Amino acid sequence: MSSVPTVKLNNGYEIPVLGLGTYKALGGEVEKAVKDAIDANYRHIDTAYLYGNEAEVGNAVRAKIAEKIIKREDMFIVTKLWSNFHEPDKVEYACRLSLKNLNLDYIDLYLIHWPFSFPHISDNDSWPVDGNGVAIVNDDIDILDTYKAMERLVDQGLVRSIGLSNFNSEQITHILNGCKIKPVINQVEFSPSLNQRKLIEFCKERGIAVSAFTPLGRPNPQLKTPAFIYDDSVIEIGRKYNKTSAQVVLRYLIQCGSIPIPKSQTKERIQQNIDVFDFELNSDEMSVLDQFNTGHRIALLPALKHSKYYPFNIEF
Ligand SMILES: NC(=O)c1ccc[n+]([C@@H]2O[C@H](COP(=O)([O-])OP(=O)(O)OC[C@H]3O[C@@H](n4cnc5c(N)ncnc54)[C@H](OP(=O)(O)O)[C@@H]3O)[C@@H](O)[C@H]2O)c1
């Protein structure tokens, strides 16, 4: 098993170019999935306070440290600040909750999960709604103030790197215009159907890496969606390299300059998804994948459209 290549972030830390996603992995299954992933040579794990599985991720990492399979510094653990903790004086509190859940001394990368803010009603009231079921947002919080509170976590040694998730180009510019510590990453939805070339270029010019969530478009074998997983043209490319279409897609996303974080809780697929470093797609094959760019977004969150911080009202 060879190790996964890394990307150097703008603060000098290195992140493995592929990680394990953990969203909606079933409770009780995440710990096993992370252990299987570490055995398969994953060193980058993506979780979030919202997912409710930080404790399982931490258990798996600590178990593998105890087994002497890894050292803490070999791992790159990403977690995220949820939107009900955006008040600047709640940020350190939220970070300490995540650290306590993970039972680790520091977080490698702490992201602002989404740019919109909710009021903090309680720690676990993640989606406050009014009597009509409409999401209650708090647009009075300037997301730059939230970010500045994140910077203090770096100064305190609680987190090594900070970054953004689901931020559009204007929101990134707003952060860059007022920050002391540059965000290292913007994590966004990125798959062949949502080709984020413009956002990647924008981020690259500013020294920000892009990690790709929902990279496989959440395959549905019954409906045979998304097309890029089930289409003969992609299966054919895979046949040439003895790979599945999911592996072809992950390779494509890496060659586009992103850091995919496919989720799986199935040992065989966990192993399959990291086995993408022994082949390279040529430009014709990259163009085949480019054809699937319909702009279809899975994480659209239309219920948040009324927030001034909703990120999808501009092109990128
Ligand atoms: N920042 C954000 O706002 C945000 C939003 C969404 C997601 N994320 C992160 O990104 C991660 C990945 O995104 P996602 O979970 O939405 O979608 P995804 O990784 O595109 O798809 C996950 C689905 O693909 C299946 N799968 C995995 N590998 C496969 C393979 N080789 N062949 C066929 N099917 C395969 C999984 O099934 P099995 O598990 O049964 O194998 C699971 O049902 C999340 O887990 C989370 O960590 C972040």
As given in the structure block, the two tokens for residue 222 are: 């019954």
> Which atom in ligand 1 lies closest to the alpha carbon of residue 273?
31
CA distances from 301 to 114, 144, 259 (A): 11, 22, 23
**Domain regions of the chain by residue span:** 6-313
Per-residue pLDDT averaged across 51-55, rounded? 96
Mean pLDDT of 147-158: 98
Tokens, residue 72 = 């803490």
The yes-or-no answer on residue 309 being catalytic is no
Confidence of residue 26 (pLDDT cuts 50, 70, 90): confident
Q: What's the average model confidence in pLDDT over 119-148? A: 96
**Res. 38 pLDDT band, cuts 50 70 90:** very high
DSSP code for 196:
-
pLDDT tens for 281-316 read 999 999 999 999 999 999 999 999 999 999 999 999
pLDDT, residue 28, reads 86
pLDDT at 2 over 80: no
Identify the pLDDT of residue 157.
98
Q: Residue 27: which pLDDT band, with cuts at 50, 70 and 90?
A: confident
CA of 269 to the centre of ligand 1 (A): 11
Which residues have C-beta atoms less than 6 Å from ligand 1? 21-23, 46, 113, 165-166, 187, 213-219, 244, 246, 261-266, 269, 272-273, 299
pLDDT tens-digit readout, 101-129:
999 999 999 999 999 999 999 999 999 99
Identify the pLDDT of residue 25.
81
What are the tokens at 170? 């204007």
17 has pLDDT over 80:
yes
The dihedral over CA atoms of 129, 134, 135, 136, expressed in degrees to the nearest 10, equals -70
Domain at 6-313, CATH from 3.40.50.720, 3.20.20.100, 3.40.50.300, 1.25.40.80 = 3.20.20.100
* Cα distance between residue 60 and residue 58, in whole Å: 5
User: Six-digit token pair at 206?
Assistant: 């500013």
Q: Which of 42, 49, 51, 147 is catalytic?
A: 51
